Structure formats: structure tokens, C-alpha cells
Amino acid sequence: MSFQTGLAGLNASSRSLDVIGNNIANANTTGMKSSRAEFNDLIASSLGIGGGSGTQGGIGVAVGAIAQQFTQGNITITGNNLDVAINGGGFFQLTQSDGSTAYTRDGSFKLDKDGYIKTNTGAFVMGFDTDLTGKPTSTTATKRQLPTTAPIAASATTLIGAEFNLDARAAVATAGAVRTEGTAITLYDSQGSEVPLSMYFERVATTTTDNWDVYDAPTGGTLIASLSFGADGTLTTPAAPVSFTVTNPHTVAGDITATIDFSKATQYGSSFAVSNLTQNGYAPGELTGLNINESGVITARYSNGQTQYNGQLALADFRNVQGLQPLGGNAWSATFASGNALVGSPGVGRMGAIRSGALEESNVDLTAELVNMMTAQRSYQANAQTIKTQDQIMSTLVNLR
């Protein structure tokens, strides 16, 4: 019996050393979670023996479980915007090359040739679609893809914002006079071609209000709008943006019809000055960079100066993370023991926050693992010694004469 007890101890100590060695080997593996061997004692039982009498001895030990330790690892700054760490609970959701779902804490992501965000093992990173404000528009996670294969399409100008001050001391314009107060802005047609728009201001004689006409040329030209100001110098009319059509020299794309918002125009006793001119059109643009905020929302930057939201990373959590099945490649899969994945947005509920430009280190404590290794080694030697002692006893019995 003692031979089997010692052999069971040797097997258990060997398994423990295997676990400790795996922890030490992965001390520098991103998102690695350490494990530990947990042991159960073995008791012989048969009819009429034991039953709480306290006379039945044990027959060894067995490894009851290899438990994973899902404590938070240190977060290290890398400066790479595609490196992402989770500060708190949750796992990144992945779709592997065979179509199966996996989960990881390793956020060292890459872009492939088609613009998909992937892990080092080639798994697709999953996330939610978002609207123009970055809010999720779906609860179903899909593969995250950025438009790297082609430029984003141009957008024609539809709204112009003009903020300026007209000099209240200016004289009423005479017939045929050249308008000297003016400004210009560049618009874009549906193909992204630039179309210039000039605006010149001419004070008009009136008995009740201060009126200004806005034209597209220094003399003559087309009337864009008529502005009226009250006694306090603020705009009274028009009360709503004015619709206006700009002739496009690029005839294929057609003329540009947009609205001009003059609501922030003023007439004060100071020199003419333009404080802001804006328009919402833009030319085509290539992807130049991206950023991921704490909520996991991906913001892409383009060569045309535009920034656009391109989805939100999805996180998943489980009722029992100890039940997850390690797959290798820093990934786990859900099992019956872990329960179904609870998918959500970073920073919401139990989900941790996202840290872009950083990675989560392994949570392996090298000092503790080296001490554990020495303890397991001594346990192995002690179990080997019990077998040796039992052999000596058996040899003595056999040699009795």
C-alpha cells in the first residue's frame, strides 16, 4: 500500500511542477493567467470499513483541479494604438479561423490587408456597429473592419456656417459701388472636387432697421441673402438658414445646393471681421491612424482631416471564469461550467474599461512561483523517500530467516 501512496505523491508533485513550469515559461506572455495545482486526498473505503471510526488511513493524493487565477495583470504602456488592455473584468470576443468563438485578454491587435482587426493567431476581433456619435446601433457583435483598402467616399457640402461682424459705422453703399467687405470658403461637390464660394456684404438704406445684402461677387452677382439687425446688433432675419445654389464648374457632379446659417452674425461698432466659417463637405480620404477610447469606441483619422467612428469593441464576461477552457494562443472557450458569455460594452456593468496604447502583462509572480517550485521539489523528494523506505522494509522482511 505504501508504494502506491508514494507513487501517488510523486505523480501529484510532478503535475504541480508542470503547472509551475508553465507559469514561469509564460511570465512574459501578454494576458496570461497563472494556474495552480489543487490536490485531493485519497481514502480507501470498503464495506464495513471506515464509517467515521477514525481507523481508516489515506492511500495518497490526486490532483483535483488545475485552477486558473484571473487576477488583474499590470498594465504596461506601449504607445501602439492597436495595443489594447482591459482594466477590470471581461474578455475580448474573437471569431477564430474555423468560425468558433473564443475569448482573450491579449489585446495586441493587428490590421490585415483587408482592414480587419485580428489577433496574432489570426482570429477576428468582434465589436458593435456605431452611429455618427459613437453610440452602438446593434447588440450583435460583428467582425471589426476599417476602410484601408479604399479611400472613404467624398461628401458634398450641404450646410455652411458663417460667424462674422459687420461694421455698424459703415456707410450705405451707392449704386454700382465695389463691395470691399467679403470672405470666401471652399465647398465640395459629390465627387469631392473643390468649389469656391465668395460672399460680399453691402449695406442697404432703410428707415427702420440695419439691412445688409450678401452677394457672391464684388459687383453685381447673385443675391445670396438679405440680413437685418436689431438695435442691439444681433441678427433678426432671416430666422432660419438660407438655401442657396452654387454653380459648379465641374458639371458632371452638378451644382451644389446648401443652406447657409447666418444666426451668429452681428453688427457692432467695430471693424468687419470673420470669426468662423465652416462647411460639412469633404474630399475622399485615406486612413492615416486610429484611436480607441475607454469605452472601446474606435475613431479613425483620414488624410482629408475627417475623423469617423468605426465601431466599438465588444467585451464578454462569465458567471464562472474558472470554468473557461484554455485553447492556447492566449484564448479560452466557453463551457457548460463557465456558463454563457454575457456580452456588453466596455465600462458598463461588470465590464472593465479599455486602455488604448497599452497591454496587460501576465499575472505570474515569479518570486512566488520559484518558492512554489522549491516546495514541490522537496515534496517530490519526500515521496520518493517513502518509496525507498518501504523498499528497505520489504527487503528486510524478504530476507528474514
Return the closest-CA partner of residue 380 out of 7, 4, 57: 7
Tell me the pTM.
0.75
Average pLDDT over every residue of 18-38: 91
CA 114, chain centre distance (Å)? 19
Q: Which residues have C-beta within 8 Å of that of residue 63, sequence separation ≥ 6?
A: 11, 12, 15, 16, 37, 38, 39, 40
Instruction: Give the distance between the most distant pair of CA atoms in the chain.
Output: 141
Element (H, E) at 127: strand 124-128
Average pLDDT over every residue of 110-126: 92
Tell me whether residue 284 is exposed, middle or buried, using C-beta atoms within 10 angstroms of its C-beta: 0 to 12, 13 to 18, 19 or more: middle
How far apart (Å, rounded) are the C-alpha atoms in residues 360 and 266?
A: 54
Domains along the sequence of the chain with CATH: 2-71+363-398 (no CATH), 75-146+287-360 (no CATH), 159-279 (2.60.98.20)
Average pLDDT over every residue of 333-362: 93
Average pLDDT over every residue of 84-113: 94
Q: Which residues have C-beta within 8 Å of that of residue 227, sequence separation ≥ 6?
A: 166, 211, 212, 213, 214, 235, 237, 238, 262, 265
Element (H, E) at 376: helix 366-398
Which position has the grid cell 472593465?
352
Instruction: Say if residue 50's pLDDT is above 70.
Output: no
Q: What is the pLDDT of residue 65?
A: 84
Instruction: Say if residue 244's pLDDT is above 70.
Output: yes
Q: Hey, is 343 helix, strand or coil?
A: strand
* 205 band by pLDDT with thresholds 50, 70 and 90: confident
Average pLDDT over every residue of 144-153: 84
* 395 band by pLDDT with thresholds 50, 70 and 90: confident
In percent, how much of the chain has pLDDT > 90?
Answer: 60
Please state, in angstroms and as integers, the Cα–Cα distance from residue 67 to each residue in 40, 177, 361, 363, following that order: 13, 88, 19, 14
Which position has the grid cell 483541479?
65
Instruction: Say if residue 46's pLDDT is above 60.
Output: no
How far apart (Å, rounded) are the C-alpha atoms in residues 315 and 103?
A: 9
- HSE of 36 in the Cβ direction (CA atoms, 13 Å)? 14
How far apart (Å, rounded) are the C-alpha atoms in residues 65 and 16?
A: 11
Report the range of poorest mean pLDDT among 156-165, 196-205, 378-387.
378-387
Instruction: Say if residue 336's pLDDT is above 60.
Output: yes
Instruction: Say if residue 18's pLDDT is above 60.
Output: yes
How far apart (Å, rounded) are the C-alpha atoms in residues 89 and 147?
A: 30
